[in-house]
Chain A
Amino acid sequence: MKNFKIKLLKEEVDEIELYFERMNSLKDLVLVFESDEVFIRNSSMMYEKIVKDLTDTRTKFQLWWTKIIDKYNLQEYNQDQLFVDFLDRAIKLHVQ
């Protein structure tokens, strides 16, 4: 299990990295709105757009995993056990 490693295509890694990074960016942007000053300066419409964007990105993120688990026959693992090593371009198992 220590050496568990599923190599991914570059396009596959690029796609999931994009969703991962965007989710984090959106989550951090949501925190910016905790400052009232920012909330007043920028309309609540923008906040709602960000929240929707975050929901959409989460969905894409999840779809990617569903597709990849199916493609590489990883059904025996919980998704929580798996992660993508962007540098190594591979799916690996979290160390328990």
Chain B
Amino acid sequence: MEEYIMGNQLEPWKGGIAQTITFVITQDCNLRCKYCYMTDKNKNSVMSMEIGEKAIDYFLTNSDVFISDAVILEFIGGEPLLEIDLIDRITDYFKLRAYQLNHKWFTMYRISISTNGLLYSTEKVQKFIKKNLKKLSIGISIDGTKEKNDTQRVYPDGRGSYDDVVKNIELWQSQFPGASTKVTIGHDDLPYVKESIIHLWNLGLREIPANVVFEDVWKEGDDIIFYNQLKELADYIVDNDMWKDYNTSLFSQGIGAPLNEEELNKNSCGTGSMIAVDAKGNFYPCVRFMDYSLNRQQSYITGNIEDGINRDKVRPFYVLTTKNQSDNECLTCSIASGCQWCTGYNYDQSENGTLFSRDKSICKMHKARVKANNYLWYRLTRERGVKLKRNRGSDKYLFIMLADNSVSFCNYEASAENNISLAEEYLTQAAKDCFENFITPVILHSNNKTLSVRANEIFKGLDYINIYTHDNIDVYSDKDIIYHDSSTIYTETTPKVCCILKVDESELQNLSNYVSKALEFFDRVNINLIYNLQTFDINLYQRQLHEIADRLFEYYKNGNVKQVNAITDELLGVNRRNCNFGYKNFVLAPNGKIYSCPAMYYDKKESYLTDLKGLATNSFLGSQKFNLYNNAVCKQCNILHCNWCFYLSKQSTGEFSVPSSKQCQIAQIEKGVTAYLFNLLQENDIKDFYMNKIENTEFEDPILSRKTYSTSLMNFSYKV
């Protein structure tokens, strides 16, 4: 795989576990940047050496409180280099005291300074740098081009600072070769984002962290300007091959997906675990909780150098998570990942001075960023063949059937009886609505080459997935899926990532042969069984799955990660969900109508939910009757990978939300085979291929453990 750094996250020193202690050495600054959150700069709050020493003594003599193996001594202001002598004395004091006390931080420490760079080349600063170079990092803030920088970063008399900073960049880079600058984006400088990032890259800065301010400064249309800037930047990146050696945090592969459990249960930043010390010796969770950063609330003091940390004041930070700061709109947002906030700003903006709230000023800017990210990764994957390191996206999908004989990827048969193709106007409208509503399009191709080419043209620029027939593959990326059946799989010649393998019930005795063949070319095989609940031979299915598990084990022994949906999804820790059709996934059928699933279209054309224009309103999305967690039977079950099919349920039990016992049994059989594979891996000490520990248990129909008192099954032998 070709290496590239675009979208990588900067790796913090010691994996981010070091204790950060921020010394707010002065609240004075030689600039007056317009977007600066420190709104009350002054010359009266310079830290004394006595306070600095007492703070160092406190941190070094309370190892029971500060248990991290490493420390970062951070110096900020105002402008910290105004007080370089003081920084020098405080850091010297730290080194001496830590050595005298035989403290572990003597070995593992870093000094970090964030500066505007104006004083960087002065003799005193250079002397300090040379003395501490091996343990020092210095970040200089420069916002990009002269025009952008001087729009925001100005002297008290209004003059721009660009010329005075940029002359120090070469020296800075020679002393800190991997240095990066941080770009802050506000309303006024939005039109300069693209040229500013490029400008900084041209200055030799390869890594550019950048973010829009969290504050409520955004005006109508700012999101469109931001999107257009990022889209143009994306074009520049692709057209000039910049993704290999250059990076900006504006683009990331982790953003624009629903929040996962880890994200829901952590905060957006490290506030609370960091400690800021001011000139009076007071402690704060970070500088955003100090008076000079707050406009509405009182400062949030968590202790001082005399009395130490007030643990009660820190306690709220231990329990601060995305879940308890966010409202339902944010928690259920399909593209929430990567949306950030500042806890200090949340606190300042809250009604009652609480941490448990979230300001949403950034929302529309995040959405613009996600759209531009989708565009960049679309171009890189489809035009440059870049392989994604993370594959995340929105959790809403629109499956677009290009024709009546589009691939049938689930337990139904496509029928070309009417031979309708989706009109181009519907395709165009669907592309627009998917883009605006963060719905991922999944294009179901047929064997009509012209239609496929046209669809790829129309969806160009979106984050979308193709499901191709094996003999009609147009533009391809690793996100795409190839559709095979039991005969075409033997014609495959090219390795790819994923295939759907259709196998009819009548071919069940050869299932493992077909899957084995598919595994020769694909990393993942989704078995698509076409079966009848009444006649399906579940024992034969179980035997075939065991053979497939043995085959998978051979791959794993040789270090190859291969997946077969029915067996490995449970092992690899998929999130529990069914196919999600009717709830978050929908189908645009060739007649231009929206259906809950493709089978509904073939079964009953008049059962559509809405016409295409309904997609834009989003009002029909999320029908609760198709929500797995509202399903009375499935709620009792803990099988993760089960593809409960409401269409089959309706056919067998008469209810969408009550699956047949056979469906439950199939899922249980599959889980049993997963347990068999898991045991094989464990017995052979192969640990790299599973996230979940799987135990095989006897089949128990989840209906027996339902929580209801209405009807007893005790008098009724419920045998499947």
- A50 to B108: give the CA distance in the assembly, Å: 16
From B130-138, B417-425, B466-474, B572-580, the one touching the partner chain is B130-138
Q: How far is the CB of B12 from chain A (nearest CB, A)?
A: 10
- A38 to B99: give the CA distance in the assembly, Å: 14
A18-52, CB < 8 A from B? 18, 21-22, 24-25, 27-29, 31-32, 35, 38, 42, 46, 50
Q: Tell whether, in the assembled complex, residue B95 and residue A21 are in contact, meaning their CB atoms are under 8 Å apart.
A: no
| Cβ proximity bits B195-239 to A, threshold 8 Å, 1 near / 0 not | 000000000000000000000000000000000000000000000
- A95 interface residue (CB < 8 Å to B): no
Given A24-B134, A25-B106, A32-B96, 17 extra CB contacts under 8 A: A18-B107, A21-B107, A21-B108, A22-B106, A22-B107, A25-B95, A25-B135, A28-B134, A28-B135, A29-B96, A31-B131, A38-B92, A38-B96, A42-B96, A46-B99, A46-B100, A87-B11
Which bracket fits the contact residues of A?
10 to 19
User: CB-CB < 8 A to B11: which residues of A?
Assistant: 87
Q: Tell whether, in the assembled complex, residue B95 and residue A24 are in contact, meaning their CB atoms are under 8 Å apart.
A: no
User: CB-CB < 8 A to B107: which residues of A?
Assistant: 18, 21-22, 25
User: CB-CB < 8 A to A46: which residues of B?
Assistant: 99-100
- B438 interface residue (CB < 8 Å to A): no
User: CB-CB < 8 A to A50: which residues of B?
Assistant: 99
| Cβ proximity bits B161-191 to A, threshold 8 Å, 1 near / 0 not | 0000000000000000000000000000000
- A25 to B70: give the CA distance in the assembly, Å: 13
- A18 to B108: give the CA distance in the assembly, Å: 8
User: CB-CB < 8 A to B95: which residues of A?
Assistant: 25, 28-29, 32
- A25 to B132: give the CA distance in the assembly, Å: 9
Which bracket fits the contact residues of B?
10 to 19
- B289 interface residue (CB < 8 Å to A): no
Closest 3 CB pairs of A and B: A24-B134, A22-B107, A32-B92
Q: Tell whether, in the assembled complex, residue A25 and residue B109 are in contact, meaning their CB atoms are under 8 Å apart.
A: yes
Grouping DSSP codes into helix (H, G, I), strand (E, B) and loop, the B interface class, with mixed when no group exceeds half, is helix
User: CB-CB < 8 A to A28: which residues of B?
Assistant: 95, 131-132, 134-135
Q: Tell whether, in the assembled complex, residue A35 and residue B134 are in contact, meaning their CB atoms are under 8 Å apart.
A: no
21 A-B contacts (beta carbon < 8 Å):
A18-B107, A21-B108, A22-B106, A22-B107, A24-B134, A25-B107, A25-B109, A28-B95, A28-B131, A28-B132, A28-B134, A29-B96, A31-B131, A32-B92, A32-B95, A32-B96, A35-B92, A38-B96, A42-B96, A46-B99, A87-B11
Question: Taking CB as reference atom, which chain A residue is nearest B99?
Answer: A29
- A79 to B132: give the CA distance in the assembly, Å: 26
User: CB-CB < 8 A to A42: which residues of B?
Assistant: 96
B84-122, CB < 8 A from A? 92, 95-96, 99-100, 106-109
Q: How far is the CB of B9 from chain A (nearest CB, A)?
A: 12
* Also in contact, A27 and B96, with CB within 8 A (given A21-B108, A22-B107, A87-B11): no
User: CB-CB < 8 A to A35: which residues of B?
Assistant: 92
User: CB-CB < 8 A to B131: which residues of A?
Assistant: 28, 31
Q: How far is the CB of B354 from chain A (nearest CB, A)?
A: 38
User: CB-CB < 8 A to A18: which residues of B?
Assistant: 107
Question: Taking CB as reference atom, which chain A residue is nearest B110?
Answer: A21
Q: How far is the CB of B535 from chain A (nearest CB, A)?
A: 53
Q: How far is the CB of B136 from chain A (nearest CB, A)?
A: 9
B55-100, CB < 8 A from A? 92, 95-96, 99-100
